[in-house]
Structure 1
Amino acid sequence: MVCGSDGHTYTSKCKMEFHACSTGKSLSTLCDGPCPCLPEPEPPKHKAEKNACTDKELRNLASRLKDWFGALHEDANRVIKPTSSEAAQGRFDTSILPICKDSLGWMFNKLDMNYDLLLDHSEINAIYLDKYEPCIKPLFNSCDSFKDGKLSNNEWCYCFQKPGGLPCQNEVSRIQKLSKGKSLLGAFVPHCNEEGYYKATQCHGSTGQCWCVDKYGNELAGSRKQGAVSCEEEQETSGDFGSGGSVVLLDDLEDAREPGPKDQPGRLRAHTRATEDDEDEDDDKEDEVGYIW
């Protein structure tokens, strides 16, 4: 079993090379074992050690998972080209997307099998790799702020954004702590977007000056002016099902979806196999491809 550079787990290196030849991809082996790769080879820890994960281990795991989701999302965008009719029928309702609209939001929507914007144990289990990642359960338990056994879209997004922090929200919090309840009259307080990053346009009410910044608050040279300025807002990947194509991560989970969503407009529908013969054919094809994720 190997992890390919496209973020997929293959049953063998031979299967990966066969898939590369048949699809025209340029693939290489990132590591032995399933994706995501461990930072360095180390023996699996005993179950008793799972509750003793350090903050550093949790941060490193979150970073590896985020990179893995990004590789899967990129591969889905590159490989799958839905027809216009399929795109129209399978477009996800973007009004209920998670606050993170990149590969994290895309992965959340992939795992959210019943479209309730909550990930329960059965849905999160799709990425539980206990044998290789003993800290994965402690990581998601630490992100469950309400301790209800489920992860909301906000909890999911914040879980992976915690290690680096949200730059604009962090700065606002720092200013508020410094003021200690005193008036902030005359002080510059940055404007944040809904994801916790800086808005492209920043203005200081006391001086009347405005300027443009990137999402991390770095001012763009020459953009500061007296009065309003026009800054182009950074475009984020939507993270919906349509943007990632119709790649099915786990056939068993897709087939287990409740029939309800197919009657709801704007939902991506999983197509069930029509006959047992089709199922057998799909299994054979999957074995030819050789990747698991």
Structure 2
Amino acid sequence: MSLLLQVLLLCHVAIVASRLIILPNDADEEWCASVNCAESEMCVMDTDVNVVKCLAPTELSKLLQKQVSDPRHQTAGHQQHRRQESSHTENHCTRSELMRMGGRLVKWFSDVHSKEAGVDHSLKIHSVACRADVGWMFNQWDGNNDGLLSMNELRPLERGGNEPCVKEFIDMCDDMVVDGAISIDEWCDCFSFSDDLRHEPPCHKAKHNVDPHLLGVFLPRCDMEGFYKSEQCHEGHCWCVDRYGREFDKSRVQNSLPDCGQYASDLTEKDIAFLKARM
């Protein structure tokens, strides 16, 4: 799936520069149903002239680029970004409610999984341990089998309305690479301790105790067991910690990676790239 479509599928409705309203082709809005877009197209309304049309991804990409480059729309676009950013700050569910929500989802995954016949499909490559029922449910939602769950694919899970914390819980799972899509590792990690909070490790708890979409929020690096990795970086600073997140004296550096070799094994190239991205 292209980057453009990944972005467009993050929400049910995306507004670009207060002019274009863009929805997936399966949107149930009346004005989209009337134009009957093909599966590969997006339904687009130009609110300046109230025209609805179907656009292929390439056509839509050119239109969006034109909108972004048009100075008349930049202020409105910035205001829309701020509105989206502020919406993430309005947490309607407490951590306790979110964790109970996760526990109920795991129980539901387990109940449904136990009643389904057949052999489980293998998960794509992942590095986080994943319980069978949680991995099985990932495959059920991953309609295009790309190893990522888009907001569009998860939309049926959030539409029930009976569980007001479902969407907020799912959004919080997008915390390893905050890109609007949930990877296998993010999904498996998110449900690791949802039904066993008494044994939740400190780093896992800290990471899932904040909204990953908030600008400037610190998301710690955790190992596979949910404890802190030795090297941590945030906003130009890096430091060394023990497995419980306690910072070592005189380990903090600025605009460079810390030397935590005495506390941990050597960094891999992937680790280095990840840490530099956090600086």
Same fold (TM over 0.5): no
Under a length normalisation based on structure 1, what TM-score does the superposition of the two structures give?
Answer: 0.37
Greater RCO between the two (CA within 8 Å, min separation 6)? 1
Under a length normalisation based on structure 2, what TM-score does the superposition of the two structures give?
Answer: 0.38
